[in-house]
Amino acid sequence: MRNRLKASDAIFASLLVALVMLIAGALSPGLAQEALPSWNDTAAKTRIMDFVKATTTQGGEGYVAPEDRIAVFDNDGTLWVEQPFYTQLGFVFDRVKTLAPDHPEWKEQAPFKSVLAGDLKGVAKSGEKGIVELGMATHAGMTTDQFSKIVTDWFATAKHPKTGKLYTEMTYVPMRELLDYLRANGFKTYIVSGGGVEFMRPITEKIYGIPPEQVVGSTITTEYALVDDVPVLRRLPKIDFVDDGPGKPVGINQFIGRKPIFVAGNSDGDYEMLRWVTAAKGPGFAMLIHHTDAEREYAYDRQSSFGKLDKALDEAERRNWLVVDMKADWRKIFGWE
C-alpha cells in the first residue's frame, strides 16, 4: 500500500510539472505587456500589437486562421546590418582573399585585383558585371554540402568591419523580438531576401529561429551529378533566380504558395512585395525599417548604394505602410549594447 501511494505521488508530481508547462505555454502569447521590450512605447509598437491582436482574436472581424498567418521578412537592413556593405559581400571579399593563392592571375585582373588591394571603390566601378563575376568565383564550383560548410565556417569567425563584432551578432534585437512575438501568436515566419538562399540557410535557425525551409532567396543553378558513383548537387556559375524587387512576390508565390499577411522590409527592393501583400483582400500589414540612427547604427535612405529607400518611402503614408524610425522607435538596436 505504501509503495502504491508513493507511485501515485510520483505520477501526480510529474503531472503537475506537465500542467505548469501546459498553462505557461497557453498563457505566454497573452502576456502582451511584456512583448517587444526593446521597442519604445511609440505608435509603431502599438500599431504592430493592434494588428496581431486583431488577427488572433477569435470571432473578431480581422481574425485570421493560424495556417494563414504567414509573415515575411527581408534580411539585409531589416533583420541584420547591411552597411558599410552587404554581409554576403564581406563573405565574397574574404573568399577571394582565401582563394587568391590558387589564382595568381587575380592580382592583375579586375575586379579581383581591387578586392585584393582592399579598394572598395574599384570593386564598385566594376559594376553589376564585376559583382556577378566575384559571386560566381566564390559561390560556384563546389557541391551544396561543401558550400554549406564554407559558409558555416566563415560565420564562426567573420567580423563586421566597423564594430568588430561577429556578423551573427549584427542582428537587430527589436526585430528578433518581433519574430518571437509573431511566432508566439501562431505566425509562421519566413525570410524573403535578395541574398543567396544557401548563404543564409546555414545560420538563420541559430540567429533568428527560422529553419532552412522558411528561407526564400536568390539561387544559382545546381545540377545533380555522380562523383565516384555518389550523388551530389553541384553549384554551377549561373544565376537561376533573383529574389529582389518584382522577384520577391514571385519567390513568395513559388516557395510558400500563400499570400503573407505581414511583411517587413527596408528598401525599394521590397516595394513590389509590400504592394502585393497589402493589395490583397483581407488583413495585410506592411512595415519599412527607416535607418535614422547614425550613432547606434547608420543613417541612410535615398542615396545609399546598399538598401536604397526612396520610392517606397514616398508612398508609405498613402499606402498605410508603417515606417519604423530606428532612432525613435527602438530602445536598443544590438544585443551587445
Q: Which three cell numbers stand for residue 329?
A: 522607435
Give residues 57-76 in contact with its own copies (rule: CB under 8 A). 67
130 vs 269, which CB is nearer to its own copies? 269
**Residue 325 identity:** D
To the nearest 10 degrees (0 to 180), the angle between helices 173-184 and 197-208 is 80
Minimal distance, residue 155 CB to its own copies, in Å? 16
Position 249 contacts its own copies (CB under 8 A): yes
Sequence-ordered list of residues with C-beta below 8 angstroms from that of 268, at least 6 positions apart, any chain: 245, 308, 309, 310, 311, 312
For the bound state, the minimum distance from the C-beta of residue 91 to its own copies, rounded and expressed in Å, comes to 18
Backbone dihedral angles phi then psi of residue 317, each to the nearest 5 degrees = -65, -50
Nearer to its own copies, 46 or 254 (CB): 254
Q: Which of 4, 33, 257, 318 binds its own copies (CB under 8 A)?
A: 257
Tell me how far apart the terminal alpha carbons of the chain are, to the nearest angstrom: 60
Q: Report the alpha-carbon distance of residue 69 to residue 189 in Å, rounded.
A: 9
What is the Cβ-side half-sphere exposure of residue 16, based on CA atoms within 13 angstroms? 6
Contact between 18 and its own copies per CB under 8 A: yes
Our finding on whether 284 is near its own copies (CB under 8 A) is: no
Among 74, 76, 82, 198, binds its own copies (CB under 8 A): 198
How far apart are CB 101 and its own copies at their closest, in Å? 30
Residue 122 has which C-alpha cell?
A: 574599384
- Is 215 one of the binding residues for its own copies (CB under 8 A)? yes
Q: What residues make contact with its own copies under the rule CB under 8 A?
A: 15, 18-19, 22-23, 67, 144, 188, 197-198, 201, 205, 211-213, 215, 219, 222-224, 230-231, 233, 246-247, 249-250, 253-258, 272, 275-276, 279
